[in-house]
Amino acid sequence: MDKKNESYKVKSFEYMMHPKSVAIIGASNNPDKVGHVILQNYLDVGYSGKLYPININANGSIMGLRSYKSVLDVKSDIDLAVVAIPAQLVPKALEECGRAKVKTTIIVSGGFAEVGEVDLQDKLLEIAKRYKFTILGPNCLGVMDPKSRVDTLFLPTYKIDRPRIGGVSFASQSGAVGSSVLDMIAHEGFGLSKFISYGNAIDLDEVDILDYLAKDKETKVIVFYMEGVKRGKDFIEVAKRATLEKPVIVIKGGTTEAGATAAHSHTASLAGNYEAYEAVFKQFGIIKAESLDDLLNFSKIFDTQPLAKGNRVAIITNGGGTGVLATDSLYNNNLVLPQLSKDSSTKLRAAMPPIVNIRLPLDMAGDADDKRFNVALDVIGNDPNVDAIMAIVLFQTPGADSRVAASIMHHGATINKPIVVVSPGGNYTQAHVNMMESSGIPVYTSPESAARALDALVKYSRYKLARGR
């Protein structure tokens, strides 16, 4: 990759995520217009920079802010222009952005190559190159950064919850997938660092986004939904560096012939040969998600848990049947059940009632309370034969209450090994799930989901440890 161009594009994302001034081209007082929703979002989230509503029919004021007919009428620097007008009007707006020396642009408007308007789309890139600014999109949602209060999504805040500030950054070629996952992240107990929707990717693409997020100090985990990669060699070069710094989780759209056709009509993307993608992912430590559930489940374990030194997972449970299911899930996902050390067995035998068999999975019986969970977590968490712990908590049983959740939260903060919880149930269970996840304990509704997440963590841990990182 061209290092100078690479640095320039990374800087473009800084202008998007931390702009001091934003022009919204297509801003409107009409709540049915996309430009109205975008401007409203900036106001709702408390953006502190300068906002310039732009509308050719502006008559002085839009949503209480002074409005302008063109960016050329704004006599101050503009870091970012968000373009939300009909496709045929976009080239003229970009010409004006270039003359106004706007630093970067996001084009949320659709109606370009994804519907066969290739020449119109090519014109956008020609203008951007001539004036030396960058484009994200077109046909995208744009960006969101909860920390800097930036939100170009044309989705009202009452329809999609905004995630809290966190360490996961999510990039999506599809706006629909992106908005759905954002909504789910807001309910999954982990937070968002940055969101980038890049649509047709005529300029800034998945290579530039991966490069930026790999270097971003506020991003702990990188998550991608992608349909295709245009610059294969550059992507590999950036991925090799990125995966040594932080986890990169990818769900690939267009894995079948029919899916690839759908991807092309959706974002004008060439989905490519899926086997080739799988080979690259495996070679360079990219974690492959098979579903949106995987995407979320993997994200929260990587966001909260340390690397695993091996694949030996201890199971503790207050329900025997779920312990059996969990054991099957381990072995179906490249994980194993270890043998407890003699010291651990002795300590557990002294603390547990006679009905408890001292072996893994450790079934502490249906009346297990916080005292049993506390001893089990303490002893097994320090067992040298154990690399990670899966704690199954059925809050429907008599002894399981907030004190059990508190015990798990305490050990999650003090044991330097991955801990995941499996806890299916209704409202009472969910209240305790929220408690644990708010303290950084990933909770899953099934042993299979937890085991898949642990397997992903183990595989990435091996990749990093093999390279001395």
Amino acid identity, position 185: I
Closest CA to 13 of 177, 123, 150: 150
DSSP per residue, 315-333: EEES-HHHHHHHHHHHHTT
Token pair 């374990």 is found at 301
Q: In 188-319, which ranges are continuous DSSP H helix?
A: 206-215, 232-245, 257-267, 274-283, 292-304
Residue 59 pLDDT: 84
pLDDT tens string 154-203: 888 778 888 999 999 999 999 999 999 999 998 887 899 999 999 999 99
R_g (Cα) of the chain, nearest Å:
25
User: How far is 314 from 311, CA to CA, in rounded Å?
Assistant: 10
Indicate the SS3 state at residue 256: coil
Residue 159 pLDDT: 82
Residue 2, pLDDT > 90, answer: no
pLDDT tens string 299-349: 999 999 999 999 999 999 999 999 999 999 999 999 999 999 999 999 999
pLDDT tens string 140-157: 999 999 999 999 998 887
Reported confidence tier of residue 269, pLDDT bands at 50, 70, 90? very low
Residue 351 pLDDT: 96
Closest CA to 171 of 227, 225, 245, 104: 225
455 close to 334: Cβ distance less than 8 angstroms: yes
* Tokens found for residue 367: 């009346």
User: How far is 128 from 206, CA to CA, in rounded Å?
Assistant: 18
Supply angle C-alpha 296, 297, 299, rounded to 5.
65
Give the list of residues 6+ apart from residue 354 with CB closer than 8 angstroms, or none: none
Residue 264 pLDDT: 44
Residue 275, pLDDT > 90, answer: no
Residue 1, pLDDT > 70, answer: no
Residue 5 pLDDT: 66
Residue 304 pLDDT: 96
Residue 258 pLDDT: 53
Range list of β-strands (E), 117-228: 134-136, 142-145, 150-151, 165-172, 192-197, 221-226
User: How far is 209 from 188, CA to CA, in rounded Å?
Assistant: 24
Of all residues in the chain, the percent with pLDDT exceeding 70 is: 94
Higher per-residue confidence, 1 vs 33: 33
- Phi first, then psi, for residue 315 (nearest 5°) are -110, 125
Q: In 318-401, which ranges are continuous DSSP H helix?
A: 320-331, 342-351, 370-381
Arithmetic mean of pLDDT, 206-224: 97
User: How far is 74 from 69, CA to CA, in rounded Å?
Assistant: 9
Indicate the SS3 state at residue 153: coil
Burial class (CB in 10 A: 0-12, 13-18, 19+), 139: buried
274 close to 255: Cβ distance less than 8 angstroms: yes
Closest CA to 202 of 133, 103, 110, 135: 135
Would residue 365 be called left, alpha or beta, if left means φ above 0 and alpha means ψ between -120 and 50 degrees?
left
Residue 241, pLDDT > 70, answer: yes
User: How far is 206 from 96, CA to CA, in rounded Å?
Assistant: 27
Residue 10 pLDDT: 85
335 close to 451: Cβ distance less than 8 angstroms: yes
446 close to 421: Cβ distance less than 8 angstroms: no
194 close to 141: Cβ distance less than 8 angstroms: no
42 close to 151: Cβ distance less than 8 angstroms: yes
Strand order in the sheet with 165-172: 150-151, 142-145, 192-197, 165-172, 221-226, 248-252, 287-288
**Positive or negative torsion for Cα 109, 19, 133, 78:** positive
pLDDT tens string 227-236: 889 899 999 9
Give the list of residues 6+ apart from residue 4 with CB closer than 8 angstroms, or none: none
Arithmetic mean of pLDDT, 122-137: 97
User: How far is 94 from 100, CA to CA, in rounded Å?
Assistant: 10
Domains in the chain (CATH in brackets) are: 3-302 (3.40.50.261), 308-466 (3.40.50.261)
User: How far is 167 from 61, CA to CA, in rounded Å?
Assistant: 38
